[in-house]
Amino acid sequence: MVGVPFNPRQPTGLVDTSHAAANAAQDPLLSLYLAQNGFESAGAKPDLTENLARAAGQGLTFGWGDELLSFGQAGLDQLLHGDDGKDFWQRYDSSVARERRNLEAFRQENPIVAYGAEILGSLPTALVTGGTGTATGLGRIGTNLLVNGVQGAFYGAGAASGDTLADRGWGAATGAAGGMAAGVALDAAGNAVNAGLKAGAKYLADSKTIAAAPSGAAVKATAEAAREAAESADVVLTPTATSLLKQDLGQTLVGEGVTVRGEMVANYDRVRGSMRLLDQFADEPMTIKSFRRLYESFEYAARSEMPGEAEVAKSMLKQLDSFMDGLPQEAFKGTGDGVEAAAQWRAAKAQLAKFERTNIIETAIENARTFGDNFPEGLKNEFREILRSGEKKAKLSPEDIAGIKHFIQGDNINKALKFLSEADLRGALDELPIPKIVGRMAQPFVRGAARGQIGQNAQRSADIVRATAALGEAIPPVPTGTLDLRALAPGLGNNDGVHIIVNGGNPLLPPYVDDRSY
């Protein structure tokens, strides 16, 4: 028997924690020897179910399970059997010794299951006593250390092998150290796991979005189908609606300060041409197709090289959008559904805008492919050109632009891969514990693998930007839970393995250890 803690209540001063004592009922000679030396036989060996319950209970009570159970057993035994030569504390000591023998025997026979059950059993108590979610920000580390230290100290005091104040104090000290050490390790592990889970969830979400995003050609086909549905509807705008449109646009020109007594004075030929087209269409009921022609003429004016004219034309386009959005059925004539035709018109316009954005991105990707193996740099050049082009940039959404800028700036992973693909790795590889010739032969393979990964990352980033443009919205953030493993700290920090690590390779045992073997 090795490492038996001192207990002043036992006649010999020792609490038997050996595996043999747990099997004393099956060994008559051993039972006789233990009895002669002041020990009681452990009785029948507990089965797995009982041992699991004992270990889990030890964890649930933060190491005080043997004491609590023995306290109850001693009281019940005295109540049922009366005074048979043993007082309450003698019964208690006998029960504690038995419980500790059985628990120690279970740990020696099946340490993984025993400690696993104890650690899992400690989770509810750890959670209730502040094992997770204690703090955030700057005070998080200190607060977590305090919580895990207090929990570990309480657990260690309960798990102490002896019952003296010194025993409990030593158990509390080692338990606090183990709890804090385990808390720090588990916090780091939890952060790493959370980062991995988040990255994995984002990868799956991005893959799903990329797969769902239509091609530019498909978006264009959807836009053309909606436009065809709008223009083929048997409806026209009534003269009253057309007259209201003319008035609205005229008021917009007045608001922009480009008319005097109803006549345009600014040298804005494109806007003037669009207004003349409106006068021509207003002479008779305006079809949806005629309205599209009018809209396209103002789009042409909005691309004017004269900033003032372009600004006025954009204001006119907003007015046209507002006009079509608010038209009631009474504003149309014909057998068709005017409101539905207007909805199809708006859908066509929205899909066409998506197509233009998607086409810009797809063209950039195709142009970058001409760079061959240097596709990532080629794509950066194409994306920079888009941002420099006012016309192209104006068609992109803020989400599109953010994705492009993120790719150009790069992330830490791609920066590291770029370094591996370009740096002279001979010196770094020579430092590895491998033959130098092997390291130098590996350099081109390392570079090639890094370049290949950079290319794959670039293609995926390009696919995400294209998907954002084609879907017309940014990829939603991935909702992920936060895995906090620190609730395991009290139980994990009070097992013998952690104690040995904390103490630099030596078990954290009190100095009064009996090392005799039986």
Q: For 249, how many CA atoms within 13 A lie in the half-sphere containing its CB?
A: 28
The confidence band for 477, taking pLDDT boundaries of 50, 70 and 90, is: low
Checking if the pLDDT of 495 tops 70, the result is: no
Q: What is the mean pLDDT of residues 289-294?
A: 92
Same domain, 374 and 303: no
**26 vs 38: CA distance, rounded Å:** 18
Q: What is the mean pLDDT of residues 397-408?
A: 90
**210 vs 187: CA distance, rounded Å:** 34
Taking the C-alpha atoms of 303, 305, 311 and 316 in order, what is their torsion angle to the nearest 10 degrees?
-40
Report the pLDDT value the prediction gives residue 296, as an integer from 0 to 100: 93
Q: Which is more confidently placed, 440 or 75? A: 75
Q: What is the mean pLDDT of residues 268-275?
A: 92
Q: Which residues contact 452 (CB under 8 A, 6 or more apart)?
A: none
H-only helix segments in 137-281: 140-159, 165-212, 216-232, 239-256, 269-281
pLDDT in tens, 76-123: 877 777 666 677 777 777 887 888 788 888 878 888 888 788 777 776
**504 vs 162: CA distance, rounded Å:** 23
Highest mean pLDDT among 66-70, 457-461, 500-504: 457-461
Same domain, 363 and 287: no
Kindly state whether residue 437 falls inside one of the protein's structural domains: no
Gyration radius (Cα) of the chain, Å: 40
The confidence band for 138, taking pLDDT boundaries of 50, 70 and 90, is: very low
Domain residues for the domain of 62 are 47-123
Helix axes 338-369, 216-232, angle to 10 degrees: 160
Q: For 126, how many CA atoms within 13 A lie in the half-sphere containing its CB?
A: 33
Kindly state whether residue 410 falls inside one of the protein's structural domains: yes
Kindly state whether residue 270 falls inside one of the protein's structural domains: yes
Checking if the pLDDT of 197 tops 70, the result is: yes
Same domain, 331 and 399: no
**195 vs 206: CA distance, rounded Å:** 16
Kindly state whether residue 238 falls inside one of the protein's structural domains: yes
Same domain, 324 and 411: no
Same domain, 251 and 325: yes
Same domain, 56 and 99: yes
Report the pLDDT value the prediction gives residue 491, as an integer from 0 to 100: 63
Report the pLDDT value the prediction gives residue 383, as an integer from 0 to 100: 94
* Cβ neighbour number for residue 352 with a 10 Å cutoff: 17
Checking if the pLDDT of 351 tops 70, the result is: yes
Q: What is the mean pLDDT of residues 233-251?
A: 90
Report the pLDDT value the prediction gives residue 121, as an integer from 0 to 100: 75
Q: What is the mean pLDDT of residues 6-24?
A: 42
Checking if the pLDDT of 23 tops 70, the result is: no
The confidence band for 222, taking pLDDT boundaries of 50, 70 and 90, is: very high
Same domain, 425 and 365: yes
**319 vs 36: CA distance, rounded Å:** 105
Structure tokens at 315: 């204001």
pLDDT in tens, 415-432: 666 666 656 666 666 666
**Residue-wise over 129-167: b if at least 16 C-beta within 10 A, else e?**
ebbbeeeeeeeeeeebbbbbbbbbbbbbbbbbbbbbeeb
Checking if the pLDDT of 177 tops 50, the result is: yes
379 torsion bin: left (phi>0), alpha (psi -120 to 50), beta (else): alpha
Report the pLDDT value the prediction gives residue 192, as an integer from 0 to 100: 76
Work out the mean pLDDT of the chain and round it to a whole number.
Answer: 76
Of the chain, the percentage scoring pLDDT greater than 90 comes to 24
Q: Which residues contact 365 (CB under 8 A, 6 or more apart)?
A: 379, 382, 462, 466
Report the pLDDT value the prediction gives residue 508, as an integer from 0 to 100: 44
* Cβ neighbour number for residue 105 with a 10 Å cutoff: 22
Q: What is the mean pLDDT of residues 395-415?
A: 83
**279 vs 9: CA distance, rounded Å:** 110
Structure tokens at 479: 């909702």
Report the pLDDT value the prediction gives residue 4, as an integer from 0 to 100: 38
Report the pLDDT value the prediction gives residue 27, as an integer from 0 to 100: 53
CA atoms 311, 313, 318, 319: torsion sign:
positive
Same domain, 356 and 382: yes
Is the Cβ–Cβ distance between 360 and 390 less than 8 Å?
no
Kindly state whether residue 248 falls inside one of the protein's structural domains: yes
Is the Cβ–Cβ distance between 236 and 287 less than 8 Å?
yes
Kindly state whether residue 208 falls inside one of the protein's structural domains: no
Count of domains observed in the chain: 3
Same domain, 369 and 458: yes
For the entire predicted model, the pTM comes to 0.59
Q: Which residues contact 325 (CB under 8 A, 6 or more apart)?
A: 342, 346
The confidence band for 277, taking pLDDT boundaries of 50, 70 and 90, is: very high
Kindly state whether residue 323 falls inside one of the protein's structural domains: yes
Same domain, 282 and 372: no
Highest mean pLDDT among 4-8, 18-22, 121-125: 121-125
Kindly state whether residue 90 falls inside one of the protein's structural domains: yes
Q: List the single range of 18-27, 139-148, 373-382, 401-410 with lowest mean pLDDT.
A: 18-27
